[in-house]
Chain A
Amino acid sequence: MRLRTTREQRILRIKVILRWFLYYVLIFLSFVFMTSGTWLKPLLLIPIPIFISIDNDQYGSVFTGALCGFLIDISCGKLFGYNAVLLTIFCIATSVLFELYLKNKFFNFLLISAAAAFIQCWLDYKFYYEMWEYEDVGRVFRRVSLRVWLYTVISSAGLRSILSLLKVMNTKGDMKIINVSEKVMSVFEVTSFTDILDISQK
């Protein structure tokens, strides 16, 4: 019985590692998407850490928020660290809000993402455009900042579905490796993976 519990714990750990790996793959793909082409694009790296910080380890989600912030700084050509600070604050606030006051519902996530994206776009406009008093600077807010905010809110709804799928796979799904050939099985045995995973031979 004790052995089974340990095995389950190991499987759970692998699932958690796999989930975080997939989160980071998604972050990387979002970064690549954001740095391609000339059109206005949603800031995908805002809703992702916010979703992660809702019900994941707080330190891990805050670190992810900072990393996403650094990536936004690179893709948007902003002062290195500026968005990292912003997203770290957003992640801490989201984590505390959902821990104490809010339920993990679609509407709540959308509301928090929209608020965070709006603050980011508004501050970006204030610090990088309005502060320098360019002529007709209000057009940047109307034609760039607001559009980017809207795109981000819309895309955050889609991103939540993808991220939720990753979570469902981890909580409800089960991981089995079946129809393994003799050679592959021997590799699993040598590496002791047979103790951790449910592996069946042909």
Chain B
Amino acid sequence: MREFLKSTRFKVLMSFLAFLVGIMIYAVTKGGYSVSGVSFINTLTKPVRKVSNGISMRFERGLDKFRNADEYYEENQQLKSQLGEMNKKLTNYDALVAENEELKKFVSIKEEHSDYVLSVPCDVMGFVTNDPFHSFTIDKGSEDGILPNCPVVTAEGLVGITIEVSKHVSTVRTILSPDLSIAAVCSSSNADSGIIEGGVVPAEENMTQLIHVSPSHKLKSGDLMITSGTSGMFPKDYPIGTVESIGYDSNGLSVTARIKPCTDITRLTSVIVITDFSGKREDKK
């Protein structure tokens, strides 16, 4: 052992290790952009990863049908009873009008935002390995005009934000992550606000949560939460998710709500990146 520690071989290996530590420190200073090695590997493996991810997702979905057959049966029964209830509601004119109004609001969110500069549609290449918050990579990068900290959306709602961008590939942090905080407001009342921030437990069920809600809130299950746009990182009035349940946090001091994202993040196949919008914070441009 002593001989090994004194040998040239040991010195060479330690120098190599120091070189790797240097790379790691250099990567920290890149501020959201990948080092060139990452770009190279990402570009090189992009086609294979896309194909293998497609196969894997198809396989997982197929297996999922067998594994969760009982669950789907129960869900089907539940949906049938819900459908019956909905049919009853449809006979009620007032309910129909209210529902129509809500849908109008949802549609108007898209119509009102002609100021968005959107990327071309991006395919989801794959999900970050073993990430409990389902971060994923998309097949567009800085050459397509994508920058770090750009909002990532689908037509249904907000998905997350770009955190690391290389030439042809970007990594997206989702709204299920506790590292992403978004100021949100209830679309119907426009008064009940809070912060959308993921958590370990909600992420297990593909949910996120609304924290710092006022104790005098008027939130109810089914309310749509939209971005408030105050931070300048996200465009105003973009749908995030609907309120599933309301309760107190683990301390029992403040109100939190479980939010079901408008988009099923684990089933994503393509997204769009908003590269610019009015009200975007200058230092994020």
Whether chain B is bound by chain A comes out as yes
Across-interface contacts of A36 in B (CB, < 8 A): 49, 52-53, 55-57, 126
Contact A76 B130 (CB under 8 A): yes
Binary per-residue interface labels of chain A (46-64) against chain B in the complex, 1 for a CB within 8 Å, 0 otherwise: 0000000000001100110
Asked if B164 and A77 sit within 8 Å, CB to CB, the answer is yes
Does residue B132 face the partner (Cβ distance < 8 Å to A)?
A: yes
The contact of B42 among A37, A74, A144, by CB within 8 Å, is A74
Contact of A32 among B23, B48, B59 (CB under 8 A): B48
Give the residues from 133 to 152 in chain A that come closer than 8 angstroms, CB to CB, to chain B: 134-137, 139-140, 143-144, 148
How far apart sit A132 and B199, CA to CA, in the bound complex (Å)?
12
The segment from A82-90, A177-185, A187-195 that touches chain B is A82-90
Closest-CB distance, A2 to chain B (whole angstroms): 31
Tell whether, in the assembled complex, residue A139 and residue B127 are in contact, meaning their CB atoms are under 8 Å apart.
no
Q: Is B199's CB under 8 angstroms from A136's CB?
A: yes
- Is A24 an interface residue when CB atoms closer than 8 A count as contact? no
B24 within 8 A of A: yes
Q: Is A66 an interface residue (CB 8 A)?
A: yes
Cross-chain contact A80 with B27 (CB below 8 angstroms): yes
Q: How far is the CB of A184 from chain B (nearest CB, A)?
A: 31
Could you mark each residue 145-166 of chain A with 1 if its beta carbon is under 8 Å from any beta carbon of chain B, else 0? Answer: 0001000000000000000000
Residue total for A at the interface (Cβ-Cβ under 8 A): 50
Question: Which chain A residues in 76-118 approach chain B with CB under 8 Å?
Answer: 76-77, 79-82, 84-85, 88-89, 92, 96, 99-100
> Which one of B24, B59, B125, B134 has the highest number of Cβ atoms from chain A below 10 Å of its Cβ?
B24
Name the segment of B32-40, B113-121, B222-230 touching the other chain.
B32-40
Main secondary structure of the interface of B (DSSP, over half): helix
A173 to chain B minimum Cβ distance, whole angstroms, is 29
**For residue B55, which residue of chain A has the nearest CB?**
A36
B154 CB to nearest chain A CB (Å): 17
Flag whether B92 is at the interface (Cβ < 8 A). no
B73 to chain A, nearest CB (A): 23
Question: In this complex, what residue of A is CB-closest to B134?
Answer: A38
Which chain B residues lie closer than 8 Å to A69 at the CB level? 20
CA distance A58 to B24 in the complex (A): 22
Q: Pick the most buried of B34, B42, B130: most chain A CB atoms within 10 A of its CB.
A: B130
B13 near A62 with CB under 8 A, answer yes
Q: Do A76 and B128 touch across chains, with their CB atoms under 8 A apart? A: yes
Closest chain B CB from A33 CB (angstroms): 7
- Using known A-B contacts A40-B130, A41-B129, A79-B27, determine if residue A135 contacts B199 with beta carbons closer than 8 Å: yes
**Nearest B-chain residue to A72, judged by Cβ:** B129
In the docked arrangement, what's the CA distance between A36 and B128, Å? 9
Say yes or no: A79 contacts B37, CB within 8 Å. Answer: no
The reply to whether A80 and B35 form a contact with Cβ atoms under 8 Å apart is: yes
Contacts of A43 in B (CB 8 A): 129-130
A186 within 8 A of B: no
Complex CA–CA separation, A31 to B48 (angstroms): 10
Indicate if B1 sits at the interface (CB-CB under 8 A): yes
Chain B residues, Cβ within 8 Å of A62 = 13, 16
User: Which residues on the A side are within 8 Å of B171 (C-beta)?
Assistant: 77
Q: Which residues of B contact A127 (CB under 8 A)?
A: none
21 pairs of residues in contact across A and B, judged by CB atoms under 8 Å: A31-B45, A35-B53, A36-B49, A36-B55, A37-B57, A37-B60, A38-B57, A40-B130, A74-B41, A75-B128, A76-B131, A88-B17, A88-B20, A99-B4, A134-B178, A134-B200, A135-B178, A135-B199, A137-B200, A140-B132, A140-B200
A81-B23, A81-B27, A139-B200 known; 19 other A-B pairs, CB under 8 Å?
A31-B45, A32-B48, A34-B129, A35-B129, A37-B126, A38-B134, A40-B130, A58-B9, A73-B38, A75-B128, A79-B28, A80-B24, A80-B35, A81-B20, A137-B200, A139-B201, A139-B204, A140-B132, A144-B130
